[in-house]
Amino acid sequence: MKETKECTLCRKCVGICRKTVGISAVTYTEMGDGTARVDFAEVKCIACGSCVYICDSGVLTLEDNGDVRVITIPNGRMEFRLQKCSVCGSYWAPEKQLDYIAAKSNLPRAAFDVCIDCRE
């Protein structure tokens, strides 16, 4: 798809966050004046990047910088801490995403202290 760098209000980000990930950190709101917008709730977001991967317009971006994941959205940016692997020391996944997975899988959070490359 051609990147427009402008939100087309396709709502793919809303659907993947709500239906696939199960979070609902991205919402679509129709305004009283006939306009609409997509909103991102940083407090709910787990920084998985699903919205970025499905965005055809290219308006959403994701970049890992050291121990921080930055997700750029139409009206700003959100920053999330990344988990440091206890074996190799590399930063490998957003802490909030790992918290969510641990809770959903009923596993101890410590089960996610080691990155995928260092697991036995």
Percent of the chain beyond pLDDT 90?
92
pLDDT (0 to 100) of residue 120: 77
The answer, yes or no, to whether residue 2 has pLDDT greater than 80, is no
pLDDT (0 to 100) of residue 3: 59
Domain segments of the chain as ranges: 12-118
Q: Whole-structure pTM over 0.85, yes or no?
A: yes
How far apart, in whole angstroms, are the C-alpha atoms of residue 50 and residue 81? 17
Give the pLDDT mean for 3-29. 93
Over residues 51-103, the pLDDT tens digits come to 999 999 999 999 999 999 999 999 899 999 999 999 999 999 999 999 999 99
